[in-house]
A = this chain, B = another copy of it.
C-alpha cells in the first residue's frame, strides 16, 4: 500500500531548507495554542460534554485550580472553549468546547490512539 500520491509533504534532501521551514509553521502554530501540560487533557475532557470547573479538576489528577483557571482562560481567548455562568447559589460555571474547539477531535483522537499503544509499550517494560 503506497500512501503518497501527490502529497505536498515531500521534503527530501533536495528541497531547500526554507521550504522545510514553511512546512513546520502550521505545526508551530498548533503547538502555540495547545502547549502546556494540561490543555489537551482539558480539551479531551470537554469532548465528552459540558463540565463544571470542579468536575474537570476532579477528572484530571494533579491539576490545581490555579492552573485550570489559567488554561481555561487561554482556551477561551483562542476560542476553543466557552464559559457559561449560571446564577445559582452558590454560583456554578460550565465550560464547553466551541464549534471550533470540536475541530480538534481528530487530533485528540490520534493522540489518544498513539498514547494507548505507547502506554502498552512502557508497561511492557521498555
Q: Of A27-35, A64-72, A84-92, which stretch is located at the interface?
A: A27-35
A interface with B by C-beta (< 8 Å): 7, 9-13, 15, 17, 20-21, 23-31, 33, 35, 37, 40-41, 44-45, 47-50, 55, 58-61, 79, 100, 103-104, 106-119, 121-122, 126
A111 contact from B27, B60, B116, B121, Cβ within 8 A: B27
Cα distance A35–B61 in the bound complex, in angstroms:
18
- B115 near A28: Cβ-Cβ < 8 Å: yes
Q: In the complex, which residues of chain B have a beta carbon less than 8 angstroms from the beta carbon of A40?
A: 27, 31
Which 8 A-B pairs give the minimum distances between C-beta atoms? A26-B115, A30-B115, A12-B48, A11-B48, A26-B116, A12-B49, A107-B110, A20-B59
A59 → chain B, closest Cβ, in Å? 4
Copy number in this complex? 2
Cα distance A30–B27 in the bound complex, in angstroms:
17
A26 → chain B, closest Cβ, in Å? 3
Assess A107 versus B111: contact at CB under 8 Å? Given A27-B40, A29-B122. Answer: yes
A1 → chain B, closest Cβ, in Å? 14
Q: In the complex, which residues of chain B have a beta carbon less than 8 angstroms from the beta carbon of A107?
A: 107, 110-111, 113-114
